[in-house]
Amino acid sequence: MEVKNCLIKTKCDILGCKNLAEYCVLNDKKIALNLCKNCTEKLHNALSKVLVPKPVTPPFKKQKKIEVKNG
């Protein structure tokens, strides 16, 4: 998938939106979705709430020590 600026004048594909599309979502070099700037921002905000990346483990975190049994 790839997101590019729209080169043609077309309406936004989101239902109820009447703005002109500024961005095109390409799937295998074919246009799959045309989005205006407002709908792109709303879609980005909605996806960022759902898709949260896993946190990176800190490199200097105190690690557990291995206990040695004296026997």
pLDDT digit string, tens, across residues 37-66: 999 999 999 999 998 888 887 777 676 667
In Å, how far from its chain's centre is CA 52? 9
Distance CA 14, CA 24 (A): 12
Token pair, residue 3, equals 């997101």
Whole-structure pTM over 0.85, yes or no? no
Token pair, residue 18, equals 């009447």
Query: Contact 34/13 with Cβ under 8 angstroms?
Result: yes
Distance CA 45, CA 6 (A): 21
In tens, the pLDDT along 3-41 reads 999 988 999 999 999 999 999 999 988 888 999 999 999
